[in-house]
Amino acid sequence: MLLQTDRSLARHSWYAETASRRQDHRALQGEVRAEVAIVGGGLAGLSAALELAQRGRQVVLLEAQQLGWAASGRNGGQALGGLACGMDEIEAQLGLADARRLWAMTLEALTLIHARRDRYRIACDWQSGALTVATSARKAAALRRDAERMASAYDHPTQWLDRAALGLHIRSPRYHGGCYDRRGGHLHPLKYALGLADAAWREGARLHEHSPVQRVERHRSVTLLRTPQGQVVADQVLLAGNVHLPALAGVGALPPGTGARIMPVGTYVGVTEPLDPSEMDGLLPTRAAVCDSNFVLDYFRPTADQRLLFGGKVSYSTLTPPNLAGSLQARLARVFPRLAWRPLTHVWGGFVDITMNRAPDFSRLPPDGAAGAPIYLLQGFSGHGLALSGLAGKLVAEAICEDASRFDLFARLRHRPFPGGERLRTPTLVLGMLWHRLRDLTG
Ligand SMILES: Cc1cc2nc3c(=O)[nH]c(=O)nc-3n(C[C@H](O)[C@H](O)[C@H](O)COP(=O)(O)OP(=O)(O)OC[C@H]3O[C@@H](n4cnc5c(N)ncnc54)[C@H](O)[C@@H]3O)c2cc1C
């Protein structure tokens, strides 16, 4: 059911129309051997494939659909430092010193995008500049306090902009203040994901599309991953399947309860037709990416061909909201009233994998026997994974080939399953989220 909904959400993606897939990677047939097998061809899996291949490992990546097909190729394109949960949660769990190390890694995730773009000549329409904005005076004060704390405790200064100064970047009556971070920015995520896939392939990774892993069997010293027409015999395994991965629970890969630590939440995006550049100057003169600080947030940015790409609605029930285009359009008109009558030419969406505390959930599942190897799991990016998933793949490669300490810092974060377990977590969450929506509305 989730997969069916996701397929229909993928159908009208503007990204899919504007990125070219240079090559198809044929489905796995027969048996192959791998030092590392990766399940999932999103940014997390592709990044790990690239890093492992660069380190000379024999890598096989299995993707159920097409590379970059899911969240990684359909997202808002905002490449930001930090984590969805903010640093308070991390500091409470790990203490300030380790929280600072972790924060620095989230900035490294941005540097990694630039390094890969340059090294592999990935044309992905990068544009620097990211703004976080507040929709009320109370929220502006809270955002400012947060920015000041990030500057003092994490050496991360951003530029505070009051209502008037905000006009330099965004011409909208909706916002009371915001902070500008020059390190963040935005890109075309599908072009970037396909560029990473090409890079991994050129470095020697084997990539197979249309190869859903249906069964994972752990044997004494190897793990077997079965697809409809083939199987991989692997020494080590990374599971990077995001919301569709829990389908593997109970078939030997995931301990019971792992899937209940994430919840699929639908989120949606649309683009306008291309605007005249002077019209875009009147909306987002510096072409920065923008997101607000609400719990159910609006996020938007210009594209390279001067469309406004706007994201914002969510569905906790996983059902696609009725009149999606109309309600996205209405949210867009709250921000830029002059776009009220400009139709969205494409509307699509996808699922994010949120955790209870919105912190990422990386883990090493212990080996089955003395001779076995752990299975690595990357999940729970909580809607903030464009940059971080790239770093996560690198951390897995480091852990397998060199040193696990940076991976283990993330793995120390504790997570609770959603109330209701895998079957009842969605209705329970729907009720819980009503409270957060009311908070957004009450300013
Ligand atoms: C609409 C939308 C907007 C977003 N906007 C932003 C944003 O602006 N900024 C930001 O930072 N983040 C954003 N995100 C979140 C971000 O896109 C994700 O955190 C990130 O892409 C996760 O990457 P991933 O590789 O973990 O997962 P995915 O990209 O979902 O990839 C997982 C892959 O695994 C495959 N798979 C699953 N199970 C199997 C199996 N059994 N066998 C083989 N393959 C399997 C799937 O087919 C899929 O291709 C957004 C997400 C969405 C949906």
The string of pLDDT tens digits covering residues 322-338 is 999 999 999 999 999 99
Residue 179 confidence (pLDDT): 97
Ranges assigned E (strand) in 163-275? 177-186, 206-208, 215-218, 223-227, 230-239, 263-272
Residue 422 predicted with pLDDT over 80: no
Per-residue pLDDT, 429: 59
Q: CB neighbours of 430 closer than 8 A, spacing ≥ 6?
A: 316, 317
Q: What pLDDT digit, counting tens, does each position of 76-106 carry?
A: 999 999 999 999 999 999 999 999 999 999 9
Cα separation of 397 and 49, whole Å? 8
Q: Where are the domains of the chain?
A: 2-75+191-260+358-421
pLDDT of residue 155: 96
Q: How far is the CA of 379 from the centre of ligand 1 (A)?
A: 9
Closest-CA residue, ligand 1 atom 9, reads: 78
For residues 364 and 85, give the distance between their C-alpha atoms in angstroms, rounded to a whole number. 22
Mutate to test the pocket of ligand 1, among 85, 223, 242, 351 (most ligand atoms within 8 A of CB): 242
pLDDT digits (tens, 9 = 90+) for 146-166: 999 999 999 999 999 999 999
Residue 412 pLDDT > 70, yes or no?
A: yes
Distance CA 270, CA 280 (A): 16
Average pLDDT of the chain to the nearest whole number: 93
Instruction: Give the Cα separation of 172 and 169 in Å (integer).
Output: 10
Task: Return d(Cα 97, Cα 423) in angstroms, integer.
Answer: 38
- pLDDT tops 60 at residue 434: no
| Mutational test site, ligand 1, from 21, 72, 126, 361, max ligand atoms within 8 Å of CB | 72
pLDDT in tens, 275-298: 999 999 999 999 999 999 998 899
Mean pLDDT for 197-203 is: 98
pLDDT tens digits for range 232-277: 999 999 999 999 987 776 677 777 788 889 999 999 999 999 999 9
Mutation to probe ligand 1, out of 381, 388, 396 (largest number of atoms < 8 A from CB): 381
Whether pLDDT at 437 is above 70: no
Q: Provide the residue type at 140 as one letter.
A: A
- Write down the pLDDT at residue 436: 56
Decide: helix, strand or coil at residue 253. Answer: coil
- CA 126 – CA 303 distance, rounded (Å): 10
Closest CA to 240 of 375, 342, 147: 375
Inform me whether the pLDDT recorded for 52 exceeds 80.
yes
What CATH number does domain 2-75+191-260+358-421 carry, 3.50.50.60, 3.40.640.10, 3.40.50.1100, 3.40.50.970?
3.50.50.60
CA distances from 356 to 26, 256, 413 (A): 37, 17, 12
Question: Nearest Cα to 81, choosing from 177, 150, 170, 178?
Answer: 150
In the numeric block, which tokens belong to residue 398? 């480091």
Q: Residue range 364-384: average pLDDT? A: 86
